[in-house]
Structure 1
Amino acid sequence: MLKSPFKIALLLGATIFSHAVANAGELTLFSRDGFDGREMTLRATTPNLVESGFNDRASSMIVRSGRWEVCEHVGFEGRCVVFEQGEYPTLERFNDRISSVREIMPERGHGGGRHHGGRRGMISLFAERGLEGDAKRLRRDADDFAEIDFNDSARSAQVMEGTWQLCSDAGYRGTCRIFAPGRYEDLGRGLRGHVSSARMVDAEGGGGAGGGQRDGDVELFSSSGFSGERLVLREDTRDLTDFGFNDRADALIVHQGEWEFCKHADFGGRCVTFGPGRYERLGPMGNLISSVRRVR
């Protein structure tokens, strides 16, 4: 027996709806640290948390799916940071300061701008250390920050998508460094307060989007279990203070080679060598690493 057009349309609509729900992002805010207290789950853009009675009340959160931008003022104004899927038992500088929330949806291809073979990119630059102060968000290359009124202003950054090169001079000249996705609370000597150009680049050893390339030889994480803030290293680092990561690493991944991790700057104090592998917890070296160098 043939189904009626109405039934077919109804079944098709239900399928599309269930697929959309399955792929929608979901974020839960909690009024206390450690996922305690009152909670509110969001699945859609919320430009004003005052209306839900949750303005400036969130102290922890869980991003169950999607990528979410949280902002300190209504209408997505003020300082904003993007959070990936994961658990955040404390919000630190955003504690009791979130007023608007929205999911960052993948961009669809369109004309205009440089997209580097279809890859997307997004970086936020901040005028103060610790992702504070005036901010400038980029989605494409900028070869002269004087044109965007942010020359020699950036002191910290958050890379949400892509791998970016920041340079001290216009035209991608001078001191340049590569920044993979992560939070950089201090751009370090040579770039702190001296960034004049930025562009998307291929990650070292990679040749385009996808492909499972790694970002660097070593990854440091500020929380056990490979969570929290991340710092990617490809070369010897005499003082992690320059990257705002001194005494902060509590987990690490070594992708290649053998690396020595030391308690003091300039490879002083107690040092421990880690070969290729994933180290979910650093035990006695947790939150004590100040310098890193490759030994083999």
Structure 2
Amino acid sequence: MMRLPGLFAAAALALGVAAGPAVAQERGAPPPQGDYWNTCRNVSTVGYGPNAVMTAQCQDRYGRWTNTSLRVGNCTYISNIDGQLQCRSGGGGGGSWNGGNQGGGRPPYAQPQATLFSGLNFTGQNFETTREYSNLPSYFNDRALSLRVARGMAWEVCSDANFRGNCQVIDRDVPDLRRFGLGFAISSLRPMDGQGGGYPTYPPYPPAPPPPPPWGGGGGGGGGFRPSTLLMYPSVDFQGPAFETRSEYSNLPRQFNDKAHSLRIVGGGAWEVCVDANFRGRCQVFDRDAPDLHRFGLAEAITSVRQVR
């Protein structure tokens, strides 16, 4: 009879494990709390104390699963920001290992500051903000020629209102926005990590697309949007034999790698094009035809492409 409490406890523990949510694959310290559980999977931890590291696969704004790691340190709350784990409270957490400063990181509540200038090289009138603008005031809409961003911060700037058109993510000072095709063209901007003004209002996560086959081609347009067609031409103004795709390519075929001078999008949607394989290096999102990629610094430079909406 004295063993019954122990049996009841064991039964209760078994039921709790069966009914409770999925737990992290702990190999070190328990993972911190956070809302990343809603959009991350395969969470695991390695190590303890300041050197503890948490790894996971998290969905970005388009629903794609990406590998991400974060030196947890003293973080007490973690979020998934566009596919990257980020420490939102606590100190000494360190930076993300996916483009952040390893071992350093930014203060968890640093104000993300961006300053637009009407002249080149940060001259002329200026417009300073620490928050998102879906449509800049008329006196500074389509007026900027240069841009400064606070150290360690990243901002998305777009040529149209509501974060549409030609969009670029910028994490450093830009003395001449014409290099990005954004001179006298910025209409909306927002901090990319949501600090200082709330999280960016991304659409709900669509289902994750299937993984691309090993040769780098894709399968359809992904989840959450209707597939469209991308045409890339070896000459300006859509001249010459076109390379046509409705699929993602992490590395274009050799005969059309670094060859495009113009591009067309048929059937709506938007495509991301990047200068390096696996969607690395400088990337740009197009939702309309581009008769001359020289304007965007992308002539004879595109290596990977994918539809993003």
Which protein is richer in strand relative to its size? 1
Q: TM-score range by the shorter chain?
A: 0.3 to 0.5
Highest Rg: 1 or 2? 2
Normalization by structure 1: what TM-score?
A: 0.38
